[in-house]
Amino acid sequence: MTKTNSFFEHLLTHYRGIFATVFLLPISFAYTAYNNLRNRWVFMMNSAPAKHGQRVQHVIAQIQAWQADGCKEKLCTARSGWKTMSEMVPKYKLTHRNIDVSLYDILEISTDKQTVKVEPLATMGQISGSLLSKGWTLAVVPELDTLTVGGLVMGFGVESSSHKYGLFQSICVSFDIVTAEGQCLHCSASENAGLFYLIPWSHGTLGFLVAAELKIIPAKKYVRVHYQPVYSLEDMATEFAAASRDISGNDFVEGLVYSRDTAVIMRGTLTDDIAPDSPLNAIGRWYKPWFYQHVATFLRHKQGAYETIPLRQYYHRHTRSYFWAMEEIIPFGNHPLFRALLGWALPPSIELLKYTETETTRKLREQFYVLQDMLVPMVHLKASIAYFDTHFNLYPLWLSPMAVYDNDQRLGFVHPCQQDSVVDEMYVDVGAYGTPHKANFDNRQALPLLEKFVLAHQGYQALYAKTMLSLEDFRTMFDHSAYDRLREQLPLCKQAFDEVYDKVSHKGRVSPIEMRKLQSKSEKVVTQ
């Protein structure tokens, strides 16, 4: 290792907060501004809903070229693996044939049908901004502006309205998919239903998504939020479950757990008014405290309290601090002086954070850092919090309720919980992000045990995160029966696409630093 490399290794490892502040924030700001300008320019010059058909034909033409070449490689999208939300990077991008799927438009907003039709690279920020200007919103709006529809459909998406509307997949009315055969199929509950129900969680292993039709609902100006502190594990589980099951009274439900016995349960309702007992709090302004720190102050309010938050700011309440992960990147980021001077630049780009990982930080992350969302039946919430407390001692924990709906044919990777002939659709996402305080904690041992706990309690793992599941356990957790049949039936599907496990497990993903090494080797081979 050269002296220069040693210097940067030391700087990025021991002074990451200063490096992130001095270098990553301005670079991220410039990078984001550049991307926004580039996307707008490309949109104006090349992109319009009328050209959607031409762009789909371009995808089909690439697949036909692959067929003409003998179907020698597996296929994947050409979108950079650094843009994923996972802490890992897909290494199969280097070995598979990359298909350019440059589809990023909003195609149609239909208030009559209460749907919006979009292309797969349309982002949450792009869609929510367009809809809110017209008085509408998606029924489920996942947190970060940069999340794409394609990622949320093929993977997983949840938010605090999911107790009422289900996972992001549940607000999808139809999909257009280009298959390995080179056909564009329209899929809905009544047309190609098998494919429609199996596309969610399939991670691009059945075809290329080229359009999705999503459910929209009327928007209002604000969310009236009630903060309810609880002071025992029993009350926490009881109150959160009661709030989550009240789908007529609560438009949003969320919980932040600060210790085994303390949490704040939040109930939100859409409103156009600001009540006298519910002061306006523009929580999204750059100088405001990070949301989870603000919520913690309500632990002192024994009777709870109300606030009114502008709707778009509510949707992105955790964005500036990446929930609480930013505290480990920029420990002084929530200081009032930092917020006042540089709060507008937060958060730094996830891509740049991944790319500046060092060998030392990689080893530390793999051993000590946790970034997981575990989806467990609501009836097991108390046991799940107790498990995290005993084996991780990591706080805060994020609680987001979600309904897991089934269809008449029980097609899909995930299903409602069933115990003693009783079906319960209500699940909870327990999000754990950060460095646990458990003595002698080692995530390399803790994660496999956590996955076994979730599996034993009829739960699911969010697959953007790292998984240590064996193929057998993975297939036990996620129902592959209809998926396997469909892959056999779809022409060329198995020749074109990996299975889900091959893409989300260690086989298909590596750490950012390992990816840089693989890219370097690949470039040398090409040069030679």
Q: Is the pLDDT of residue 2 over 60?
A: no
Tell me the HSE value of 42 on the side-chain side, using a 13 A CA sphere: 10
Length of the chain: 528
Least confident of 21-35, 89-103, 465-479: 21-35
pLDDT score of 355? 80
Across the range 233-249, mean pLDDT stands at: 97
State yes or no: cis peptide before 331, omega within 30 of 0. no
Question: In the chain, what is the greatest distance between 2 CA atoms, to the nearest angstrom?
Answer: 72
Distance of CA 318 to the CA centre of its chain: 13
Share of the chain above pLDDT 90, in %: 71
Residue-wise pLDDT tens digits, 404-423: 999 988 999 999 998 888 89
One-character DSSP codes across 138-187: ESS--S-TT-BHHHHHHS----TTHHHH-SGGGGEEEEEEE-TTS-EEEE
Residue-wise pLDDT tens digits, 65-84: 999 999 999 999 988 877 77
Share of the chain above pLDDT 70, in %: 93
Residues ≥6 apart with Cβ < 8 Å to 84: 90, 151, 464
Residue 223 to residue 129: CA distance in whole angstroms: 17
Q: Is the pLDDT of residue 242 over 90?
A: yes
User: Under DSSP, is residue 267 helix (H, G, I), strand (E, B) or coil?
Assistant: strand
pLDDT score of 1? 47
Q: Is the pLDDT of residue 4 over 70?
A: no
Residue-wise pLDDT tens digits, 252-309: 999 999 999 999 999 999 999 999 999 999 999 999 999 999 999 999 988 899 999 9
Residues ≥6 apart with Cβ < 8 Å to 157: 140, 142, 147, 151, 167, 168, 169
pLDDT score of 392? 96
Tell me the HSE value of 459 on the side-chain side, using a 13 A CA sphere: 27
Confidence grade of residue 353 (pLDDT, cut at 50, 70, 90): confident
pLDDT score of 39? 59
Across the range 45-52, mean pLDDT stands at: 74
Residue 334 to residue 332: CA distance in whole angstroms: 6
